Amino acid sequence: MRFDHVGGVVCLGETMVMMVPAEPGPVHLVRTWHRAVGGAESNVAVHLARLGVRSSWVSAVGDDSFGLAVLDAVGGFGVDVSRVRVDPDRPTGLYVKEASPHGSPVRYYRRGSAASGMGPEMVDRLGLGSGEVALVHLSGITAALSDSCLEMMRELLRRPRHGFRVSFDLNWRPALWTDRDPRVLRELADSADVVLAGADEAELVWGTGDPARLRQLLPGPASLVVKQGAEGATLLEGGESYFEPALEVEVVEPVGAGDAFAAGFLAATLAGEAPPVRLRAGHLQAASALLTAEDVGDPLPDDVTVPLLHADPRTWASARLEV
C-alpha cells in the first residue's frame, strides 16, 4: 500500500524520550531501562514515510543527548527532521512507562520542555509558502503543553490556506489538562479541514461520540472521522456519511494504532481515493501497529493490503490479520 507523489505532509508536535523497564519487578527497584522515543505527531510522520508520502516532523528538542536520540530515531525512518529547533536552554521531554501487573501507567516529565517553549514563530518553519506542503497535521496534545503552543496552533489555523490543508487529531490526554481549559479543543477542531477523533475520547471531551451529533458540534471541517474502536470508523463529508468496519486483528499492543489510522487515512485522502478506500487505508495501517508491540510496526505486505483496499464488502468483513 503506497501513496507516492501526493504532496508533502508536515507533522507538528512534541516527541519525547521514553524509558521502559527492561527487567521485571517493582519500578523503584529496576536498574536497567530500555530507551525509546514516542510522540503522536512524529508517529504519524513515520507511518506516512512508510506509505511513500514525503513527510517532515517539526518540533523543538533540547541540546542534549535525549534530543539527539529523538532526531536520530525519527530521522532514521526517512522523515525530514531538518526544521526541528534545537533549544540551548530547555531540555527534551521525558516520560517513563511504569509497567505493572495492573497496567502500564505513564509518568510525564515535560513541563518546561523544549517543545513546550514553541510559539507562533514556529509556523514560519513549516515551509507553507514553498508549494511543497499539501497538509499540516496537528493534535490536541500540543494545545495542552503551554500558552505559547496554543497560540502557535491558533496562528497556523488563522493563516490563509493556499494549496494546503490542516488535519487535527483530538488525541485526548486528560493528565495534560488538569490545569488547562479543554474547551479550546472544539475551537481548534472546528477550524481544521480534517478532524479525527475516537468516539470514546469525544464522549469525554465533547459529551458525545455519536458521529451525527459530533458533526453538529463541528460544522467547520470538510471531513470528520469518528473512530469507533473495533467496530470501525465513520467519515462525514459533503453531507454524506460513510462507515467501514474495522478488520479483525490479532492485537499484540493497541498503543499507536490511532496515529497509524490517521496516517493511512490522510495518505489516501491526499491521493484522492474514494471515501471507503480512505477509511480502509486507515484500518490497514492501524492493523500494522496492532500487530506489534512497537508504536510503529513493519508495513503490511502489498499482496495483503492492495487486494483488501478494493475488496467487496464480504471479503473485507471476513478478513483476519494475524502475527
Q: In what order do the strands lie in the sheet with 223-227?
A: 55-58, 8-12, 133-139, 165-169, 194-198, 223-227, 232-237, 240-245
CA pair distance 306, 196, nearest whole angstrom: 24
Give the other-Cβ count within 10 Å of 92's Cβ.
29
Query: How far apart are the C-alpha atoms of 227 and 246, rounded to whole Å?
Result: 9
Report which of 223, 12, 6 is spatially closest to residue 132, judged by C-alpha positions.
6
Residue 58's CB is within 10 A of a number of other CB atoms, namely: 24
CA dist., res. 242 & res. 263, Å (int): 18
C-alpha cell at 41: 505527531
Question: Could you tell me if 290 and 252 are in contact, meaning their C-beta atoms sit under 8 angstroms apart?
Answer: yes
Rounded to 5 degrees, what are φ and ψ at 149?
Answer: -65, -40
Catalytic residues: 259
Q: How many CA atoms lie within 13 A of 284 on its CB side?
A: 31
Distance CA 310, CA 64 (A): 47
Give Cβ neighbours of residue 2 (< 8 Å, ≥ 6 apart): 51, 52, 302
